[in-house]
Each structure stands twice: as C-alpha cells, then as structure tokens.
C-alpha cells in the first residue's frame, strides 16, 4: 500500500464509452496501446509522479486492460487504461484504489478555471490554432469553445461527454500538466450545448476541494 501521507489522488475518472472523435484524437497522441471507439477508459493522475509505474503494473496484471498512457512529469504522473469490456476497466481501477488505500471520492474535485466561447472565428485566429492542433481543422466563421480545468486529466471526461451531447468538431485536447484544455468548434447552438454538457459532467464528479 502506498503511504497516504505522501500520496495524492488528483484525478480518477471513468469513461464508459469513448466517442468516435475522442478516441480518434487520443490515437494521435497516445504513447501506448491505441484506443478505438466504444472502449471504456480510466484516467488516473497522481503525485508523486513516479507512483504511476506501480499503478500501471497493478492494473495490467489484474485484468486484460491495455495501457495507453504512462506519463511522468516533474509534479504529477498520469496513466490511462482501456478495454472493450467496461468491467475489466472498473476492476482494474478498483485494484489501483485498493493498492493506494483510497476511495474514488478521495480524488481532487475538478475545478473549471476558464470558459470561453468565440463566435464567428476570424480566419487568422483559426490558422493560429490549426498550426498546433491534433484534431479537426478550425474553420473560419465557426464558433470556438475553449474549456480549461484542473487537475488536467479531467478534461478528457468533459470532452467525451460533450461529444455525446451534440455535434462537435474536436480541435485539440491537452490532458497533461497543471491545467487541462479542450478546444471544440461548430455552430453556435452546438457549442452552447457542448458547453452545458462539459460543465455538467465536471460538476457531477465528487471529490475533495
């Protein structure tokens, strides 16, 4: 068991079914096994960062889940596991919690740090974002929705739930670091629906302030 005096469970978030654009985007940035649409996934962020190695070891040995990410930064470590079997991901997640001596609600509760909606995006601003995106192109004239939250890995849940709720173009996701960021585009009405879904998703997650 990991010492709880030193360990912090920053993010623990379960995705029941990866949406098509979300899964496709993650396939462009993952360092491990490639996810596909319909898979369940679990994102866990922790401190100290090196604990991520032991947690991946626990997860992959208890069920047939596949590791997509094992990331170590200066402060935080993050892992992602996925499987077509929701039960396999849930069992692996519980094994991680048992190993660290935590409950799911011991995680840090997500906090929204910035919400921006930009209508009728200018062509030059669109090009600036397109140079660095890994997902869809941002088309001039569309509405851009940008969400920032902490801890970073929670942004994956917001992105997946937003795609479930409405028609979106997934431009980019940053899910590692101190803040997570999500960029979506589409019609103004669709971005308002995506905003509601993303914010409701984060607000629904219990945890410690």
How many domains does the chain divide into?
A: 2
Position 5 confidence tier, pLDDT thresholds 50, 70, 90: low
> Given a cut of 90, is residue 128 above it in pLDDT?
yes
> What is the per-residue pLDDT for 177?
87
d(CA 146, CA 173): 10
The enclosing domain of 67 has a CATH number of 3.30.70.1710
d(CA 3, CA 32): 28
> Given a cut of 90, is residue 21 above it in pLDDT?
yes
Q: 3-state SS string over 38-68?
A: CCEEEEEEEECCCHHHHHHHHHHHHCCCEEE
Number of H helices, E strands in the chain: 6, 8
Residue 2 lies in a domain: no
Q: Give residue 184's domain range.
A: 111-203
Q: Tell whether 97 and 158 lie within a shared domain.
A: no
Q: Tell whether 149 and 199 lie within a shared domain.
A: yes
User: In the listed set 79, 106, 133, which residue is the last one of a domain according to the structure?
Assistant: 106
> What is the per-residue pLDDT for 74?
81
Mean pLDDT of 62-75: 93
Q: Tell whether 36 and 102 lie within a shared domain.
A: yes
Q: Tell whether 96 and 186 lie within a shared domain.
A: no
């Amino acid at each position: 068991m990991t010492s709880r005096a030193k360990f912090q469970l920053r993010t623990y978030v379960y995705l029941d079914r990866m949406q098509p654009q979300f899964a496709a985007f993650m396939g462009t940035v993952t360092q491990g096994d490639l996810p596909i649409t319909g898979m369940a996934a679990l994102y866990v962020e922790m401190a100290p960062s090196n604990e991520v190695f032991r947690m991946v070891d626990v997860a992959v040995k208890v069920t047939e889940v596949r590791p997509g990410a094992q990331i170590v930064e200066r402060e935080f470590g993050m892992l992602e596991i996925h499987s077509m079997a929701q039960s396999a991901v849930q069992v692996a997640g519980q094994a991680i919690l048992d190993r660290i001596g935590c409950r799911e609600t011991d995680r840090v509760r997500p906090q929204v740090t910035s919400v921006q909606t930009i209508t009728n995006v200018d062509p030059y601003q669109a090009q600036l974002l397109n140079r660095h995106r890994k997902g869809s192109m941002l088309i001039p004239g569309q509405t851009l929705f940008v969400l920032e939250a902490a801890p970073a890995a929670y942004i994956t849940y917001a992105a997946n739930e937003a795609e479930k709720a409405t028609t979106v173009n997934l431009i980019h996701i940053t899910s590692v670091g101190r803040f997570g960021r999500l960029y979506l585009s589409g019609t103004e009405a669709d971005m308002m629906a995506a905003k509601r879904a993303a914010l409701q998703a984060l607000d629904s997650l219990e945890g410690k302030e």
